[in-house]
Structure 1
Amino acid sequence: MLAPPGDVVAPSGFPADPRPRDAPKIFLDAMEVRIKVFCDEQKCALEPELDEDDPRSWHWVAYRTTESGEDEPVSVIRIVPPPHGAHPNGFHDPLEEPYVKLGRVATMANQRGKGLSRLLTEEAFRWLAAHKNDIADGYKGLVLCHAQVVVEGMYAKLGFVTDEKLGRWHEEGIEHLGMWKRV
């Protein structure tokens, strides 16, 4: 896990180089997985992959040890603390309870089906439960995921529930929906 890295990941603001020269190794490893999965495989644009949430977010990376003994990043997640803007469909509730967003969940194609995203997410949830007071005033363990519709079932297995009031929307041409869970 990497605590929020701050401005070192975008020292000149945004848009920013998705491979910032002075960023911590864990962050660079996370970006490599994200770029391979979202940009190369799913054909999302490279420029917005590093965004304004990255400097203020916690990042988890799972590694596998290669035959040569090197640690290779294979799965990542990101937890974005409050505050958050309006939901993608424009819904905004000024009395909405503070929540974190689980996002940028990605696993290399050759490592899928091994439960790595689940392990990272469960580890992040244990950390969140133990650090609720460090997240934000009034944070009580609420987590939102903007899930790709094709993996809604995976998030349901993790205990997330689809929120129909958030509707569906497209990000980078991929249909998404909002799902909630309390840790």
Structure 2
Amino acid sequence: MGTPFISLLEPTRLDGYDSSLPHDQQRDTLPPVFIDAMAAREAVFVQEQGIPLSHEYDEDDARSCHWVAYASVNIRRPPGSPGGGGTQEPGPEPEPEPGEEGQETTPAARSPETRSVPIGTLRIVPFPHPPHPPPGARYANNVLLPSSPPSTSTSTSTSTSSSSPLPSSSPPQTAQTPLERERQQSALPFGPDRRTTYHDGREPYVKLSRLAVVPDFRGLNIATQLWVAARRWLEEHPDYFNPSVAELGMDQLRVGAVGDIPRWNGLVLCHAQESAIGVYERWGFRVDQAMGKWYEEGIPHFGMFARLDIKRSDPKV
């Protein structure tokens, strides 16, 4: 394998992406880098972890930055096929058998070519974000599943059967908390969240997600190279995701002063699978104990935060 290289795809329209189809059956008008990101994600999350294919693509993909790591590998083609065709699995060139050193290899006997294949990916999702998952919650396809109703004994059901139940068309109403009301009244979805160990509930943060390295290329620091590339880009573009007053206007933002406009100050969150906590800790992330544990697609997750050292230069007049 040659030295891996990394490509960045900034937020772009993904019109026409069909979440029911694998990456290699999508329209050829979609960005190739995103198709490659999905190839790596499908290899890990769908084929390896058993997450439904239709759950892998979501509405955050079009507004996110995607980094994809590639490796240059040799593709061995069997002789006698058109153009050396019949592409086999990528792999390193085989070592010569004893006695083959110096023996001439003709194109008809072997027709290798070098190709770049996606071997890993991650994305950075800009703010705003949905509320932090409640401890113990379960999600499928980014949808919070209802909690199981408590079981009732026979005696309990008998004693309550004489009472008049609520009509099915009038479910019980749940009073909104002050936090829920404040979030609902927010002009843009920058409303407040619950306070956790490392998040005050209001500061904008970006989210590191969909980190995946295909199995054959693990143990080569591919994940670390991806995060280093993403971190460096974030540190060099600290204002990239901040809302533009020129485009949105103060009235639409409903802020009283420029200082009230949401601004990213280096806070990064990841929803880490329990098995990957050690990887994120080596990168400087810390488990947010107050967020608790929840489940996404049946897999236990924990919230982890890190803060990047971003530097802004004052504009020159």
Normalising by structure 1, report the TM-score. 0.92
Q: Of the candidates 64, 79, 95, which is equivalent to residue 57 of structure 1?
A: 64
**Larger deviation: 83-92 or 121-130?**
83-92
Q: CA deviation at 1:96?
A: 1.8
**Comparing 40-49 and 134-143, the one that deviates more:** 134-143
**Structure 1: distance between partners of 2:22 and 2:306:** 30
* Matches of 1:53 and 1:130, distance apart in 2: 22
* In the alignment, structure 1 residue 83 sits paired with structure 2 residue 189: no
**SS of 1:138's equivalent?**
coil
Equivalents in 2 of 1:16, 1:85: separation in Å?
24
Amino acid at match of 2:35: L
More displaced stretch, 118-127 vs 86-95? 86-95
Quote the residue 2:275 is aligned against.
Answer: 150
Mapped pair 1:70 → 2:176: no
Give the aligned length: 180
Unaligned residue ranges in structure 1 (runs of 5+): none
Q: Which amino acid aligns with 2:232?
A: R
Match of residue 46, structure 2, among 16, 39, 50: 39
Rounded to whole Å, the distance in 1 between the matches of 2:22 and 2:206 is 23
1:27 aligned partner: 34
User: Runs of 5+ in structure 2 lacking a partner?
Assistant: 1-7, 75-112, 136-178, 180-192, 195-199, 243-261, 309-317
Q: 1:180 — aligned with what?
A: 305
Distance 1:146 1:124 in 2: 16
TM-score (norm 2): 0.54
Partner letter of residue 134 of structure 2? N
Deviation at 1:165, TM superposition (A): 1.0
Q: Which residue of 2 aligns with 1:170?
A: 295
Asked if 1 retains the 8 angstrom alpha-carbon contact of 2:40 and 2:121, the reply is: yes
Q: Is the 1:18–1:49 Cα contact (8 Å) retained in structure 2?
A: no
**CA shift in 2, pair 1:124/1:170, >3 Å:** same
The answer to whether the 8 A contact 2:14-2:30 is kept is: no
Displacement of 1:89 after TM fit? 1.4
Q: Deviations over 1:91-118 (max 9, x none)?
A: 9238421000000000010101111111
Task: Provide the residue aligned with 1:124 in structure 2.
Answer: 230
Q: Which has the higher helix share?
A: 1
Aligned in 2, Cα 1:18/1:59: closer, same or farther, shift over 3 Å?
Answer: farther
Aligned to 1:160: 285
Counterpart AA for 2:302:
L
Say which of 6, 10, 20 aligns to 1:3: 10
2:205 and 2:266 in contact (8 A); partners too: yes
What is the alpha-carbon distance in structure 1 between the residues aligned to residue 201 and residue 209 of structure 2? 23
How many Å apart are 1:7 and its aligned residue? 3.8
Counterpart residue type for residue 55 of structure 1:
A
Residues 34-91 of structure 1: CA deviation (Å, up to 9, x unaligned): 0111000000111010001001000000000011210000010010000001012179
| Contact 2:44/2:213 (8 A) holds in 1 | yes
Residue 47 of structure 2 aligns with an amino acid whose one-letter code is D
Q: Of the candidates 113, 126, 131, which is equivalent to residue 219 of structure 2?
A: 113
If each structure's strand is expressed as a fraction of its own residues, which one has the higher value? Answer: 1
